[in-house]
Amino acid sequence: MKTTTITLLLFVNFIGFSQQNINKTKMDITAKRTKIAVYTTSEGSNLKLSNNQNLLFKDAIQPLETQSCIFVNPNNKFQTFLGIGGAITDASAEVFAKLPKDKQQELLDAYYNKVKGIGYSIIRTTIHSSDFSSGSYTYIDEGDAALKTFNIEHDKNYKIPLIKKATETAGGKVTLYASPWSPPAFMKDTKNMLQGGKLLPEFYQSWANYYVKFINAYQKEGMPIWGLTIQNEPMAKQTWESCIYSAEEERDFLKNYLGPTLKKAALGDKKIIVWDHNRDLIMQRANVIFDDPEASKYAWGIGFHWYETWSGGEPMFENIAKLHETYPNKNLLFTEGCVEKFDPAKYQLWANAERYGTSMINDFNNGTVGWTDWNILLDDKGGPNHVGNFCFSPIHADLNKGELIYTPSYYYIGHFSKFIKQNAKRISSVASRSQLLTTSFENLNGEIVTIVMNSTNKEVSYYLYLGNQSVELKIDPQSIQTLVY
């Protein structure tokens, strides 16, 4: 009995000692934070990603119900951050080529330079044409199901040179993925690349081979393809290049053709992303594809856009949270978003930027690993676009004046992309008041990045709590802050 008691006491003491070490480790995480740098972009001011405050943490006290607070806990870690970026389309590349050389370099630095710019690390591009091209084209002669005429000479004029320059400016490495808008016309039941239509079953293998040809051709040019989406917006019949897949059709094309074909071509490491459409129907697509083991094994994750608001409703952020809860082992990637219906009078419309901030905070908090904007650059008409679907981009070019026009959206995106580094971990970040939105990441070097957004028309005073430390801050109306500590 005495021996048992001694053993029990030793065990209890060991557990207590171990718990003290765990607690000490947690305390050490917060004890390192002494200074906090605040970067702000604010409407009606000159603050644009400006380091306008440098503060010190103090010992924390119990917060009051009358205070607005943000609670950050780096001990609670979630998804690994892949990166943030935008799409290099034909339109972006064609506009870029028309800029003066100094403005070309300015644009490259603005997006891809980690010091001078906002540090983009993801590039999406198109597999042949999209609406943001000067016209429709493919990489083969019409009717060539054997793909004997396949070549990417078209892309060597504008798109490939810009991708290479962007990659070089980003330090020589980016996450590059590609998306098709439509198979060639002869492969579809409508015999038309535009206005929807479906891929004919007899061309499933030929179309799967087309992806292989594309990947190999780009990689031969020194541009490693990280991954691809199966089809851009597979439930939208658009006036531009588009193709419809039901959930079952996309599942079967993936598991019977695209997945096995990539594997056979020694390209099984390429990340395949399904859906690539809005948040509204995303759960049904996930259920059909991810619940099929043979299809699911080829799918790295699921991509989504933000255009579900076309119906008059609000963004369906909760659908992303529910999907992540249901399929926690599948990656979530925001693959496209832009402000539609270009109007040059709205270049500086703050609500456009706030749409970005709201979406990015919610999407990251719901498990998203990466976020890809649409065109990195458009002209002062919101194009070129061969069907007149003119839109906004974060930066526009006035080609008559040879100048770049920066919109507030550029700076809002930068509050995330400039500070959150690849392989960072999202950590717990919770606001006590609805006036503030927040998300936080911890970089690999231990640095914490907290984004705070205030879309109200009133200044908000708040406290940031980190363990046993806190700091008092203020955020202006219609503002976004990045806190680095």
Structural tokens at position 347: 């270049």
> Residue 156, SS3?
helix
Please name which of 336, 179, 205 lies closest in space to residue 270, comparing C-alpha atoms. 179
Contact 88, 163 (CB under 8 A): yes
CB atoms within 10 A of CB 205: 16
Between CA 230 and CA 256 the distance in angstroms is 13
Contact 338, 374 (CB under 8 A): yes
Catalytic annotation on 336?
Answer: yes
CB atoms within 10 A of CB 362: 17
According to DSSP H, which parts of 32-85 are helical? none
Please name which of 306, 326, 325 lies closest in space to residue 317, comparing C-alpha atoms. 306
Measured between alpha carbons, how far is residue 266 from residues 158, 269, 279 in Å? 29, 8, 32
Task: Check residue 252 and report its DSSP letter.
Answer: H
Between CA 263 and CA 268 the distance in angstroms is 4
Query: Please, what sign has the CA dihedral across residues 165, 170, 174, 177?
Result: negative
Q: Which one of the listed residues 233, 241, 354, 442 is annotated catalytic?
A: 233
According to DSSP H, which parts of 380-477 are helical? 408-417
Q: Which one of the listed residues 250, 336, 354, 442 is annotated catalytic?
A: 336
CB atoms within 10 A of CB 477: 15
Placement of tokens 């402000």 in the chain = 339
Catalytic annotation on 233?
Answer: yes
Q: Which residues are catalytic?
A: 233, 336
